[in-house]
Amino acid sequence: MIKNILIGIKSYGGSLKLISELKLWNYFYIPVVISLITAVIIGFAAFSLSTPIGNFIANIWVWGYGKDIFISFSTVIGAILVLIIGLIVYKHIILALSAPFMSPVSEKIEKHILGTDIHSHTNSNFSEQLWRGIKINARNLGKELLYTIPLLLLKFIPIVNIFSTIAVFLVQAYYAGFGGMDYTLERHLNYKESILFVKKNRGIAIGNGIVFMLFLLIPVIGILIVLPLSVTAASKKTISILNSNNNSNLLNIK
């Protein structure tokens, strides 16, 4: 697992050069706009909802002493909770809505790596790619929230909250990597087969997603470059796995 996570991280190497070499930047303009608008909405929501959520959390403190301190603490916790949930929603919105623009990017990278389009694959149009993206990411959003919400509750337990924070980050990373890999998988595998493929290669997905999540911590610039780099890295590695001898049979599954 750790080895595959490192491989997923290392796949980002050379991504900027490949994007420029294949002249892929034009495909990223609309996804970047979607990313910026979504980020602004999420940020505003976090700012607006942190106090109400903090006050709600503060209601569990029934004692009079220390009430003000606990309210202040609860407001911070409320903002963190909104930001974490917001990041989850943000991630899946941009991954889903960017599908029709990222699929051609992945295809061009595949043709470049393989030298020629020698493998038959599913030809899908804009609406089919968008629906596939929405379907995959809606499924992943539900799964991620299912795992994340219990982990967030553990943040109220000292020491344990350190491990829960790491677990939340890795869960987010996995599903971020999942979305990036699916831009390639949608041409070769159906919905269920793609889920099984990513589960089998979860380390690669986590590695790709770790860098994805770290980019989001960089103000503004991170939002601008996260999709181009993560999708390119995910495409390169997914194509490599699909084209390997151990997985060559997957290329013919429809």
| pLDDT, tens digit (0-9, with 9 covering 90-100), for 8-22 | 999 999 999 999 999
Measured distance CA(9)–CA(254) in Å, rounded? 29
pTM above 0.75, yes or no: yes
Measured distance CA(183)–CA(96) in Å, rounded? 10
Query: Model confidence over 62-116: pLDDT tens digits?
Result: 666 666 776 677 777 777 777 788 888 889 999 999 999 999 999 999 999 887 6
The band of 232, judged by pLDDT with boundaries at 50, 70 and 90, is: very high
The band of 123, judged by pLDDT with boundaries at 50, 70 and 90, is: low
SS3 13: coil
Computed from CA positions of residues 6, 195, 100, 89, in that sequence, does the dihedral angle turn out positive or negative? negative
Measured distance CA(67)–CA(10) in Å, rounded? 48
Measured distance CA(241)–CA(148) in Å, rounded? 29
